[in-house]
């Protein structure tokens, strides 16, 4: 019956975790998946999360079905983080927000909505992008195309080409954007460039879909949301998927949100209804635990403040690792330019290593990065950064 079923080649990012676990090299380093490890190489539990967990556990509370849209406090937390606490659109009821199963769940519900209500729209993603963007939209029968983005030659952005490309697209086409900490390149648009991008989007009647999975890891919570808030100021329709996997270190709890900014409160009500109907027919309603943690941390003033400072210390540690990696590589290979390491933002660095060099790092040194040369800087620490830098220098010089 099932012999005609294709074998699955495995996921290029998540598959690395199994390979890493199976490697017996005591010096092995995991720089594959986008996960933040602390200075001791451990996955942290944030202090604000520990406190929220204590409150949830004392007393242990029942587990009812949540509403299809998730907890009100989780949704409010997403909205205030993305649009700002005092945003007028929130007061006016223009935003339909649901709690989702991670950022991935938000993308999936958004893709299903687009397929149903904008069946002729194509979705354009940056070249390159997070591979699952393409899989999720295609999996919802939305046709996916690529727009010019990363410029290999300069390590910057093909900005003029990108703008010219947007200027050829059709009304209602979806433009998937990374508001901060672009995955996989770490190369972000400047504020001025965002303004230009959003102006073309507005002029051609395109719909921005902003996927923000690293808010707080770039500059700060507000600056990282610049593109989102600018689109709102310009009165654009807008989809935003957000993830708490990284900035709350809650990967396995699968918490995120999907927000759709509408022109009127009535539109927002219609969209909200269709989003929760989408949830109902895919997984019915979200789980309780992660939503409760998000609700507590986002809505308790003191815990929220503590959370922000914890995110910023993760951000700063990543930045210090960028500097350290750069200085060792520069000393080893003075003729090569490693400025990209400190110019790029967020968890990732696009190193430009060839697939063969990435493979050598894996087999000879037990160092895992994605085959497209993406290195997760958040997996480095003072104990392994020299080892990684030396290994990189060795494969680069060969």
What is the footprint of ligand KET within residues 11-30 (CB under 6 A)? 13
In the shown chain, the binding pattern of residues 96 to 135 toward ligand KET, with x for contact by CB under 6 A and - for none, equals ------xxx-------------------------x-x---
* Dist CA 34 CA 22 (whole Å): 19
Closest distance to ligand KET from the beta carbon of 168 (Å): 25
Q: For residue 192, with 0-12 CB atoms within 10 Å meaning exposed, 13-18 middle and 19 or more buried, which class applies?
A: exposed
In the shown chain, the binding pattern of residues 182 to 221 toward ligand KET, with x for contact by CB under 6 A and - for none, equals -x---------------------------x-x--------
* Dist CA 264 CA 211 (whole Å): 23
Closest distance to ligand KET from the beta carbon of 195 (Å): 22
Q: Which is nearer to ligand KET, 256 or 366 (CB)?
A: 256
In the shown chain, the binding pattern of residues 30 to 59 toward ligand KET, with x for contact by CB under 6 A and - for none, equals ---xx-------------------------
Q: Does 346 bind ligand KET (CB under 6 A)?
A: no
Q: Give the angle 36-39-41 at the CA atoms, nearest 5°.
A: 65
Which phi-psi region, left, alpha or beta, contains residue 284 (left: φ > 0; alpha: ψ -120 to 50)?
left
Closest distance to ligand KET from the beta carbon of 398 (Å): 27
Q: Which is nearer to ligand KET, 94 or 257 (CB)?
A: 257
304 close to 76: Cβ distance less than 8 angstroms? no
Distances (CA, A) of 194 to 95, 180, 202, 225: 22, 11, 12, 11
**Pairing status of strand 367-368 against strand 29-30:** parallel
Q: Which is nearer to ligand KET, 89 or 225 (CB)?
A: 225
From the CB of residue 35, how many other CB atoms can be counted at a distance below 10 Å? 17
What is the footprint of ligand KET within residues 351-380 (CB under 6 A)? none
Q: Which is nearer to ligand KET, 158 or 182 (CB)?
A: 182
Distances (CA, A) of 218 to 45, 157, 215, 223, 234: 21, 17, 7, 8, 23
Please give the positions annotated as active site.
130, 211, 246
Phi, psi of 229 (to 5 degrees): -70, -30
Q: For residue 67, with 0-12 CB atoms within 10 Å meaning exposed, 13-18 middle and 19 or more buried, which class applies?
A: middle
Q: Which is nearer to ligand KET, 214 or 365 (CB)?
A: 214
Whose structure tokens read 């635990």? 289
Count of residues of this chain found to bind ligand KET when the rule CB under 6 A is applied? 15
Closest distance to ligand KET from the beta carbon of 140 (Å): 15
What is the footprint of ligand KET within residues 265-284 (CB under 6 A)? none
Q: Which is nearer to ligand KET, 183 or 185 (CB)?
A: 183
In the shown chain, the binding pattern of residues 215 to 254 toward ligand KET, with x for contact by CB under 6 A and - for none, equals ----------------------------x-x---------
Q: Which is nearer to ligand KET, 33 or 314 (CB)?
A: 33
Which residues contact ligand KET (rule: CB under 6 A)? 13, 33-34, 102-104, 130, 132, 178, 183, 211, 213, 243, 245, 256
């Amino acid at each position: 019956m099932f012999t005609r079923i294709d074998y699955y080649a495995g996921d290029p990012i998540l598959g690395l975790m199994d390979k890493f676990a199976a490697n017996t090299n005591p010096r092995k380093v995991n720089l594959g998946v986008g996960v933040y490890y602390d200075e001791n190489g451990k996955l942290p539990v944030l202090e604000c999360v520990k406190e929220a967990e204590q409150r949830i556990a004392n007393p242990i509370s029942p587990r009812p079905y949540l509403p299809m849209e998730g907890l009100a406090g989780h949704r409010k937390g997403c909205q205030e983080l993305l649009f700002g606490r005092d945003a007028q659109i929130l007061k006016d009821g223009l935003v339909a927000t649901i709690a989702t199963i991670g950022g991935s769940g938000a993308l999936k519900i958004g893709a299903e909505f687009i397929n149903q209500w904008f069946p002729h729209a194509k979705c354009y993603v940056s070249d390159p992008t997070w591979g699952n963007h393409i899989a999720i939209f295609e999996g919802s029968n939305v046709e996916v195309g690529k727009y010019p983005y990363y410029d290999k030659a300069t390590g910057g952005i093909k900005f003029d080409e990108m703008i010219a490309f947007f200027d050829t697209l059709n009304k209602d086409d979806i433009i998937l954007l990374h508001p901060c900490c672009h995955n996989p390149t770490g190369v972000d648009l400047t504020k001025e460039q965002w303004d230009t991008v959003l102006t073309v989007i507005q002029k051609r009647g395109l719909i921005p879909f902003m996927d923000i999975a690293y808010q707080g890891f770039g500059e700060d919570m507000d600056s990282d949301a610049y593109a989102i808030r600018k689109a709102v100021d310009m009165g654009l329709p807008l989809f935003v998927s957000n993830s708490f996997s990284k900035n709350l270190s809650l990967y396995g709890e699968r918490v995120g949100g999907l927000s759709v900014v509408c022109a009127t409160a009535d539109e927002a009500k219609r969209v909200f209804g269709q989003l929760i109907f989408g949830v109902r027919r895919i997984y019915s309603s979200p789980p309780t635990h992660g939503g409760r943690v998000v609700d507590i941390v986002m809505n308790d003033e003191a815990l929220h403040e503590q959370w922000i400072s914890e995110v910023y210390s993760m951000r700063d540690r990543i930045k210090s690792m960028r500097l350290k990696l750069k200085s060792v590589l520069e000393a080893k290979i003075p003729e090569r330019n490693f400025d990209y390491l400190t110019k790029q933002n967020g968890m990732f660095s696009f190193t430009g290593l060839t697939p063969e060099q990435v493979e050598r790092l894996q087999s000879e040194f037990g160092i895992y990065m994605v085959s497209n040369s993406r290195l997760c800087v958040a997996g480095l620490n003072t104990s392994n950064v020299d080892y990684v830098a030396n290994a990189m220098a060795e494969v680069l010089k060969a």
